Structure 1
């Protein structure tokens, strides 16, 4: 690599490290505060909070890196211009296309980092986070099972346990589910056990009775069922039947591309949605070189000015916002219809086209100005 390329690349990488550290810290602290409030309110320890915040860090980094690449390229180009280094390079005959080569290399390096995160680290962290959330939810469910007091886990549900035996059995168990006034159910059992399964905690009641009071058309009917053993989903009783499907984003990209029946059954998703998630990961690394080139190319137009290049910086930010807006719109369309996944690649293509157009304009500034000046002169002569 030529010396000038190494110099520009080293400048951008140094600035990238600074901006990435600052942006990740700000974004991560914001996420950590919300997690801290939710977990501490559920009675979790500081170690659990730290573990959860650490598991969200890879996702935060993958989101922030393209923005940090843009900030580094824009700030670095501005500094090169303010110190007249960029003017000297252009005066030596180096074209904007040639100057963009180390910037493109810088963007590709950041894109490789993003690719490693979104294809490997982020899915692994999401999977671990989902497992820990399931464990925490079971512990939160178990904390309601206290003896000697009426408890109200949610509105309309009343729970009472006379005694908890040393071996974990719940003696003289009572539970009333009156969330639906027209369909009230009461469970009583001599003893019960809370059993943890892969699908969540199950309540196994023994030697008991179910009483169901149903009201239809102004008439009430009571049905009584006695049982020797009855298993019931505790999440259904306490959380209203929340879904426990595994997160689609916790699987690797290769698994999503060839989604089999087992994966679709575990996630409750479709093959099109799995494929769309995989293509979102494939398209995400392209954001980094586009963002880096936008921050560099926009600052080349306009030439040297003692007032700086703040106008070009604003245009660069506007261009980045436009590309990000297209990305958000494409994701929204894919969320509505997963078969539209090719739209995911549209924002990077539009960004690349903007960068190429700006570099073409920057490579021919004098010719464009002469053409613009010649047009009024010709009009005066006529």
Structure 2
């Protein structure tokens, strides 16, 4: 590798890594507040908090990577320009399009990283995040029980006055439950109770002794008659007296984690392609197409960033102001917003993926190439014999002829 290429790469990667680290920390800190609220509110531990944040890293890396690469290239070439190192490189007979080679190498490496993030890490980490968060939020209500405190979890409210040291025996128990259809509510009081774990993943049940169960209907017009009493039970209208009964705690709040694929964002790109003609139940075909094309566009767009960053870094070379970075950031935000708008329209089947998602990338790429080629021929250029050299030389000749005609007129 030529010395110039190695030198430019050494200038690009430190600001790239620093920007990526800072952006990742800022995004994670912002999300940490919501994760803490969800986990600690469900009696989770800090270990679970850090585990959830780790699963969020691929998502935020995908957001921060394009901006980090842009700023890394921009600040590297900005420094080379302001300290006249760029002049020395160009004076040696090296054209700007030749200095682009190490930058494209760095962009190619970042494209591979983006492909790994968007295709593999993000779908699987999103599912892992959902699984862990669901497990925490579906924690059985017995984990929340405190003596003399009313505890609510979904459709169950529970209060016990006394708890044994092993948290398995209760005294003076109050339970209020509503069924899934919300057309019936039951209030249970009992003198004693024992908590029994199950062998499967279902929530534990409480075995209650010497109590009363009062059943009421939310909609009296649709209420069914009270059930027949079982052995050891007495009934008086909606009031049921029992010597022993069993009930599950927070049964409706306990949902088993669904397999990966509940959301189109949990599929990899090859899986999205395989499912596009036969989408799974609950996911529309337009959403699959939008998700697949959006990820592909985000991966490819990384290769376009050098053609934006270098011209902006070389503009106003002797000025102390760095207006180019502001222009670049606004450009990237505008591209991202156009892409998001296109994705929404594709999901609603208002546009085809080529126009709604690939259209912004084509416009972004075209404008970037024009900006780069225009900048490349404002400095001395090397007359090479390669394909890139011939194309850039021809473009420079056209630009010179155009300026000559303007001067003549």
TM norm. shorter chain > 0.5: yes
Structure 1 residue 353 corresponds to structure 2 residue 363: no
Q: Deviations over 1:152-197 (max 9, x none)?
A: 51698643569889896989774243999x9552265998867697
Which residue pairs with 2:134 in the alignment? Answer: 134
Structure number with bigger Rg: 2
Give the unaligned 5+ runs of structure 2: 231-244, 380-397
Shift of 1:363: 3.3
Which residue pairs with 1:224 in the alignment? Answer: 226
**SS of aligned partner of 2:283:** coil
Report if aligned partners of 1:97, 1:363 keep a CA contact under 8 Å in 2.
yes
Q: CA RMSD in A?
A: 4.4
Which residue pairs with 1:283 in the alignment? Answer: 297
Report if aligned partners of 1:272, 1:338 keep a CA contact under 8 Å in 2.
no
**SS of aligned partner of 1:224:** coil
Report if aligned partners of 1:16, 1:71 keep a CA contact under 8 Å in 2.
yes
Question: Residues 189 and 255 of structure 1: is their aligned pair in 2 closer, same or farther, counting only changes over 3 Å?
Answer: farther
Structure 1 residue 67 corresponds to structure 2 residue 67: yes
Separation in structure 2 between the aligned mates of residue 220 and residue 58 of structure 1, nearest angstrom: 50
Question: Residues 214 and 136 of structure 1: is their aligned pair in 2 closer, same or farther, counting only changes over 3 Å?
Answer: closer
Separation in structure 2 between the aligned mates of residue 123 and residue 215 of structure 1, nearest angstrom: 44
**SS of aligned partner of 1:211:** strand
**SS of aligned partner of 2:116:** helix
Which residue pairs with 1:314 in the alignment? Answer: 326
Q: What TM-score results when the alignment is normalised by the length of structure 1?
A: 0.75
| 1:19-38 → structure 2 map (5 Å cutoff) | 19-38=19-38
Separation in structure 2 between the aligned mates of residue 213 and residue 330 of structure 1, nearest angstrom: 49
| 1:299-310 → structure 2 map (5 Å cutoff) | 299-300=313-314, 302=315, 305-308=317-320, 310=322
Moved more, 132-141 or 334-343: 334-343
Moved more, 63-72 or 361-370: 361-370
Give the length in aligned residue pairs. Answer: 367
> More helix per residue: 1 or 2?
1
Match of 2:273 among 246, 251, 257: 257
| 1:43-122 → structure 2 map (5 Å cutoff) | 43-122=43-122
Moved more, 355-364 or 84-93: 84-93
Separation in structure 2 between the aligned mates of residue 227 and residue 284 of structure 1, nearest angstrom: 64
Give the unaligned 5+ runs of structure 1: none
Shift of 1:221: 5.7
**SS of aligned partner of 1:225:** coil
Q: What TM-score results when the alignment is normalised by the length of structure 2?
A: 0.71
Structure 1 residue 153 corresponds to structure 2 residue 152: yes
